[in-house]
Amino acid sequence: TLKGSYSYHTPAWVSAPSATSYTVTRLVRLPSSIELPNPDTLDNNYYLLFYADYDYYKGTGDQGESNEGNNYPNADNNYTGAEIITIENADLQVSNPSAPSAAAAGQSITVSWTVTNNGSGAANANWYDAVYLSDDDILDSSDQRIAYFWIDEQTPLAAGGHYDMTDKSLYIPGDAVGAKYLLFVADYSNSQAETDDTNNTATLQITLNAPDLCVTGVDAPATGVLGQTISVSWTVENIGQYDTTTHWYDKVYVSDDTILDEEDTLLASFYAPAQSPMHQNDEYTLAHDIFLPETATGDRYLLFVADGSGYQGETDEQNNVKSHPITLTAPDLAIAEGNVTAPATAILGETVSVSWTVTNQGTEEAAADWYDYIYISQDNVVDPGDNLLRSEYVGDKTPLAAAGDYTETATITIPSTWQGQNAFLIFKADGSGNQGETDETNNVVAAAITLTAPDLQVERVTVPTTAVSSQQIQVSWKVVNTGNSAALSPWSDAIYLSSDDQFDSSVDTRIDYFSASDCVPLTSDDFYSSIRGVRLPAVAAGTYHIIVVTDEFNQQGESDETNNFKAGGPITVSVPDLEVTAVIAPESASPSESIEISWTVRNNSDTVEAPADWYDYIYLSADTNFNPGTDVFVASENVEAFTPLDAGESYTVTRNVTVPNVSVGNWYLFVMADGSHNQGESEEENNFLRSDAITIEIPDLTVTEATAPAEASVQQAIDVTWTVKNSGDGAANARWYDYIYLSYDDGLTGDDELVTSFSTADEVPLLSGESYTVTRQVTLPNCATAYNYLLVVADGGKVQGEASDDNNVGPAIPITIHEPPDLEITAVSAPVAAAVGQTVDLAWTVTNIGSSPAYADWYDRVYISDTDSLDGSEQLLLSERIDSQTPLPVDASYSASRKVRLPESGIGTRYLIFVVNGDDVQGETSTGNNTEVVSVTISNPDLQVTAATAPETASWGERAAISWTVTNQGAGAEAATWYDRVYLSSDEALDTSTDILVVSVYAGEYSPLDPATDYTIEKEVTLPAGLTGSAYFLFVTDASDNQVEAVETNNLLAREVTFNAADLQVTATTAPDSASWGELISLDWTVTNTGSGTATSNWWDMVFLSADEIYDSDDTL
């Protein structure tokens, strides 16, 4: 049988001759590549196999049936649904190749060739022709492809037909030298099946010339220590007869001898862009510092290599190397057994803590800055197949003296996938190999670890069949966890647009992604369904597929990462055409001035609306030629009020824009429709238009006076007054900010502290010669005691274009600043016992025991924790803004009380931690007295399904009404947000690996559920396929295990039900007797329901191409 992929989707016509059957007429295109003769029959005959209700990925379709074995041709139904078809064939050949007989490396040349179809059938595929550079006239894997050309306008190519490829430009690689061959290849990628693929190539000889580089001099030291840097220089000369034609890299190696080979170690590579082209006898000298990495010690050689990259072809490659002797020494790093700590078990994707100790056992100092590596491995030996989990930079521990050591603690994340459950964590000192050593065998220690994992899969994707480029569409999908562990990490699902049904993140376009965190944890065999509205990107007209990828960012570790996507579609996409027809702007303006402009945009399409919400872009240009890469971007206009823009309709926008900071002179305003490229179009060249010329002038701002108090305290608000004058020729129109700095001296430098900034919106426009004076309150920061001056800077953010920015700093203001206050919690009030999720009363009192008032506004906070200290594991309950109580004078106090809700989980003895100034906004002399802790005992609730109703008999696909009641029989309130679920099962016991989920309902609206209270949910559901005869509805509360309960075993109630089923069969088919590769043919088939129940689901019928009349999974859809 044949392997293959989806054929092109085309419209189908469906008729229903009776209530129990239907007939389909469908146009399909045969694949472009079919093996001839048929390897099974040794002739040109194949079979079309018709399959009713089939899913390409899981086999059995969406309609449940009593017999799934009669939906396709087989021996039991005498192969009903199998039609024989004869396939014709094509054969491509290359002739008349043309090219120059000689050229230079790095040169472009012109070539031509002809391709003829000598087969008996048409060539219906599109393909690539290619040109290769070769050492001989035979095409093989060592040849270099230097050009390729897409062949689509010339196809389909009829039997006996041909096409000419004339005057095509090729670039000869810079490293190509000597006698070569050009190989002209038709359909090099084998897109078009042929009777003979061996006659697709024609050849021509070509001679390529080159220069000759030589290292003529070297300067370097005689000794060095690994991990240190040495200074070297070398000279390169072109001793050949031809100029160099490309750029290259010179390289420096360390070697055991004077001969360059693959065993030598590369020390450095230096780009020589300014040296080319080099004429005959030209030379250059390079000098650099080179780091000595991990390598062998003792008597070695430095090898200096001209064009070590091999980019420049040469007549002699043997004279590019010059050697220099050097003696190397080194230290010795080691990790001893027992000097690592790591956990014994973990889940794939889990983050764990580890530590290790490294000692320098050598006699030399370890001077390099290296990385220690942590691997995960199938065994206790580091090899190339091991996975690097972390590289820990230890530059702060170096240089490490002889006999010195250090200890590192870090977190690592276990990989998302792993083969088996057993693994080793391997710790390697200097894993990066930066530090050369006398002994590299003692750098590694291994620790054993056991692993488990979930596995997410996309099971279903549903999309519309037609749309317009940039249109909003609905996408729905289903994700199942088929792994052996729960999926605990929050992940995201992504939606892509693709030109085919195969996912490739490097070429497919991600439209959007959505968090699946509300589905966590997702237990083994559990699933969730999503439906989202997404907007198609601005693509060209054509046929596309929607692909859904679960766990897009690999946030959840899995046992298999290759099964996370599924394709839906195809979708046929059409496009409109936008054009700017008018632009109006004023004759003159100043930088930062707001000017009024207007423009008009029209949709030139006769039939297709423009549905996107795009932005029109506005640019300012120094000339009449539009170039968005160099012109000044001014503004963008959201035109969603005019969209969708119907075919033939226009819109006009009038708005103000701010002139950017440009120089004096004449400028031009350009408007570009859909500058954001949100809307796909048939023509992009008519999207921009310019205005008439605009004349520009500029201002200049200076601070002429500034005053403030002579002393103050940290966090105190003081009045600062200053005057700004416009000394320039043009008006200052921008809305800029004046900046206030604290400074150590009377000049603005990089170590000054920016305190605040103030808008000058009320003072603009500031005309030439005008000034303004303002007084503003400035709050001094915690660090203010270290500074001696205040500085005022006009337009500190340089928003307003000016003649000069060097005169914007005003005269310095001397100031003395006092030390900060000290806050302390002096009393707290809280309950000694409560239930999870309960609302409780809290109160606390704070006193300023410092020597200065507390001027800032801060937050007091209350946490709940399993420990009596803040260690990062605590949970925030309350954050209280303290502003009406400030400034708080010396020895003054305030009290606060609030109601807070306790968390939905966590029982037993816990701790309430009260923290004053929890955000550290108010500077203090001491923060050691800002915390107070009290203990509290917490109890929990208990959910139970106490009543349920469901039908006694039903059919697959039927709509049915069900209901259930849930009661809290525990001592505490139900405070979590959970899901209730209903399953269909063959017995009264819940098994999520085999039972069928009917509905999952979010019960968060009933939370908190107090003790002895209940709720009832009523739903109408579609009954799934899969069960026949006696079965059970299983009603499960808190199925997601979100709520901690006193008893977890009483959450299920069962109700019995009896089921019937349908049975689909293909009962008639028709197809043509013969066709060509890639040809569009018409097919007919009839499907009948021979079962006892109604077929209520939607399903796919599929047609396969097979080498025989027996269907299997390798047949071509």
DSSP 894-949: EEEEEEEEPPSS--EEEEEEEETTTT--S--S--TTSEEEEEEEEE---EEEEEEE
Comparing 1058 with 753, which gets the higher pLDDT?
Answer: 753
pLDDT of residue 421: 83
Count, residues in the chain: 1117
Each residue of 69-104: pLDDT tens digit? Answer: 888 898 888 888 888 888 878 889 999 999 998 887
pLDDT digits (tens, 9 = 90+) for 41-64: 888 888 898 888 887 776 777 777
Domain with CATH 2.60.40.10 in the chain: 213-314, 456-572, 578-679, 943-1045
Matching residue, tokens 């274009």: 801
Question: Which H, E and C letters describe 88-137, residue by residue?
Answer: ECCCEEEEEEECCCEEECCCEEEEEEEEEECCCCCECCCEEEEEEEECCC
Among 33-47, 683-697, 992-1006, the least confident range: 33-47
Mean model confidence pLDDT for the chain: 89
Task: Output the CA–CA distances (angstroms, integers) from residue 912 to 378, 561, 865, 898, in the order listed.
Answer: 46, 43, 7, 14
Q: Greatest CA separation found in the chain?
A: 105
Residue 1054 has pLDDT above 70, yes or no: yes
Per the rule left: phi > 0, alpha: psi between -120 and 50, beta: everything else, 42 is: left
Q: What is the pLDDT of residue 10?
A: 45
pLDDT tens profile 564-592: 999 998 999 999 999 999 999 999 888 88
The whole-number pLDDT of residue 5 equals: 37
Structure tokens at 778: 């400035």
Query: Going by DSSP bridges, is the β-strand pair 21-29/1080-1089 parallel, antiparallel, or unpaired?
Result: antiparallel
What is residue 22's predicted lDDT score, i.e. its pLDDT? 86
Tokens describing residue 321: 């190397």
Q: In CATH, what number does 92-192 get?
A: 2.60.40
Q: Is 991 left (phi over 0), alpha (psi -120 to 50) or beta?
A: beta
Is residue 685 pLDDT above 50, yes or no?
yes
Q: What is the pLDDT of residue 769?
A: 93
Phi, psi of 761 (to 5 degrees): -55, -35
Nearest Cα to 866, choosing from 906, 915, 916?
906
At the topology level, CATH places domain 213-314 in Immunoglobulin-like (2.60.40)
What is the CB neighbour count within 10 angstroms for residue 198? 6
**The dihedral formed by the CA atoms of 762, 766, 769 and 775, expressed in degrees to the nearest 10:** 30
List residues bridging with 140 in a β-sheet.
none
Q: Find out whether 418 and 404 touch, Cβ atoms under 8 Å.
A: no
> Which residues are paired to 679 by β-bridges?
none
Top CATH class of 578-679 equals mainly beta
Helix (H, G, I), strand (E, B) or coil at 550: coil
Tell me how far the alpha carbon of residue 941 is from its chain's centroid: 42
Give the residue carrying structure tokens 């930088």.
591
16 confidence band (pLDDT: 50, 70, 90)? low
pLDDT digits (tens, 9 = 90+) for 412-471: 988 867 777 899 999 999 998 888 888 889 999 999 998 888 899 999 999 999 999 999
Task: Find the mean pLDDT for residues 870-885.
Answer: 94
> For residues 863 and 1094, what is the distance between their CA atoms, to the nearest angstrom?
59
Look at residue 4 and tell me whether its pLDDT is greater than 60: no
Residue-wise DSSP of 310-361: --S--S-STTSEEEEEEEEE---EE--TT-EE--SEEETT-EEEEEEEEEE-
What is the domain class of 943-1045 according to CATH? mainly beta
Average pLDDT over residues 891-909: 90
Whether 456 and 521 have beta carbons less than 8 Å apart is answered as no
Contact between 324 and 301 under an 8 Å Cβ cutoff? The reply is yes
User: Going by DSSP bridges, is the β-strand pair 711-713/753-759 parallel, antiparallel, or unpaired?
Assistant: unpaired
Q: Is the pLDDT of residue 736 over 80?
A: yes
| Band (1055; pLDDT cuts 50, 70, 90) | very high
Q: Which CATH number fits domain 701-802: 3.30.70, 2.60.40, 2.70.70, 2.40.360?
A: 2.60.40
770-776 average pLDDT score: 96
∠ CA 763-765-770, nearest 5°, is 75
Q: Which fold has domain 823-924?
A: Immunoglobulin-like (2.60.40)
Q: Is the per-residue pLDDT at 39 higher than 90?
A: no
Q: Strands across the sheet with 701-707, in order?
A: 701-707, 717-726, 771-779
d(CA 741, CA 796): 10
Mean pLDDT, residues 771-794 taken together: 92
CA distances from 193 to 116, 161, 219, 493, 604 (A): 14, 16, 61, 38, 42
User: What's the CATH number for 333-435?
Assistant: 2.60.40
Task: List the one residue out of 594, 777, 591 whose CA is nearest residue 701.
Answer: 591
* pLDDT at residue 32 is higher than 80: no
List the CATH code of the domain at 456-572. 2.60.40.10
Residue 13's pLDDT is: 65
**b vs e for 684-709, b when ≥16 Cβ sit within 10 Å of the residue's Cβ?**
eeebbbbbeebebbbbbbbbeebebe
pLDDT of res. 9: 42
Q: Give per-residue pLDDT as tens, 164-175.
A: 999 999 988 878
The counts of H helices and E strands in the chain are 0, 76
The residues near 336 (Cβ < 8 Å, ≥ 6 apart) are 357, 359, 445
Q: State pLDDT tens for residues 937-988.
A: 888 888 899 999 999 888 777 888 999 999 998 877 766 788 999 999 989 9
628 backbone dihedrals φ, ψ, rounded to 5°: -65, -15
CB 956 within 8 A of CB 1023: yes
Looking at 757-817, list the stretches that DSSP marks H as alpha helix, in order from N- to C-terminal side: none
Using CA atoms, how far residue 1049 sits from 643, 905, 968, 1040, 1045, in Å, is 56, 18, 14, 14, 10
Better-scored residue on pLDDT, 1041 or 914: 914
Q: What is the mean pLDDT of residues 349-376?
A: 92
pLDDT value of position 184: 96
Cα angle at 1094 between 1091 and 1097, to 5 degrees? 115
Res 14: pLDDT: 67
pLDDT above 90 coverage of the chain, percent:
59
The sign of the torsion formed by the CA atoms of 198, 200, 205, 210 equals negative
Q: Are 805 and 749 in contact (CB under 8 A)?
A: no
